[in-house]
Amino acid sequence: KQADIECQMVVIGAGPGGYTAAFRAADLGLDTVIIERYDTLGGVCLNVGCIPSKALLHAAEVIDAAAHASDFGVTFAKPKIDIDKLRAYKEKVVGQLTKGLAGMAKQRKVRSVQGVATFVSPNELIITGGDGKTQLLRFQHCIIAAGSQAVKLPGFPWDDARVMDSTDALELAEVPKKLLVVGGGIIGLEMATVYRGLGSEVTVVELAPQLIPGADADLVKPLASRLKAQGVNVHLKTKVVEAKAQKNGIVCIFEGDSIPGTKQFDRVLVAVGRSANGGKLAADKAGVNVGERGLIPVDDQMRTNVPHIFAIGDLVGQPMLAHKATHEGKLAAEVAAGEKKSWVARVIPSVAYTDPEIAWVGVTETEAKEKGLKIGVGKFPWAASGRAIGLGRTEGFTKLVFDEATHRVIGGGIVGVHAGELISEVALAIEMGAEVADIGHTIHPHPTLGESVGMAAEVFDGTITDLY
Residue set of the binding site for NAD(+): 183-190, 206, 273
CA 160 vs. chain centroid, Å, equals 27
Q: Which is nearer to ligand FAD, 108 or 280 (CB)?
A: 280
Interaction of residue 53 with ligand FAD, rule CB under 6 A? yes
Kindly report whether the peptide bond that precedes residue 447 is cis, defined as omega within 30 degrees of 0.
Answer: yes
Interaction of residue 164 with ligand FAD, rule CB under 6 A? no
Helices (H) then strands (E): counts for the chain = 13, 22
Candidate residues 7, 10, 16, 296; the one interacting with ligand FAD per rule CB under 6 A: 16
* Residues whose CB falls within 8 Å of the CB of residue 78, separated by 6 or more in sequence, listed in order: none
Smallest distance, Å, CB 254 to ligand FAD?
Answer: 24
Q: How far apart are CA 303 and CA 289, in angstroms?
A: 11
Give 409's DSSP letter.
E
> Each residue of 87-112: b (16+ CB within 10 Å) or e?
bebbeebbeebbeebbeebeeeebbb
Q: Is the distance from CB of 18 to CB of 44 less than 8 angstroms?
A: no
Candidate residues 23, 30, 36, 398; the one interacting with ligand FAD per rule CB under 6 A: 36
Smallest distance, Å, CB 464 to ligand FAD?
Answer: 33
The values of phi and psi at residue 406, to 5°, are -95, -15
Candidate residues 60, 63, 137, 147; the one interacting with ligand FAD per rule CB under 6 A: 147
Instruction: State the Rg of the chain over Cα.
Output: 24
Choices 11-19, 98-106, 244-252, 443-451 (CB under 6 A): range interacting with ligand FAD:
11-19
Size of the residue set binding ligand FAD (CB under 6 A): 35
Choices 8-16, 237-245, 401-409, 433-441 (CB under 6 A): range interacting with ligand FAD:
8-16
Smallest distance, Å, CB 460 to ligand FAD?
Answer: 29
Interaction of residue 187 with ligand FAD, rule CB under 6 A? yes
Query: Is 446 a known active-site residue?
Result: yes
* Residues whose CB falls within 8 Å of the CB of residue 406, separated by 6 or more in sequence, listed in order: 435
Choices 88-96, 315-323, 365-373, 426-434 (CB under 6 A): range interacting with ligand FAD:
315-323
What are the residues binding ligand FAD (CB under 6 A)?
A: 12-18, 35-38, 43-45, 49-50, 53, 116-117, 145-148, 166, 187, 277, 281, 313-314, 320-323, 325, 353
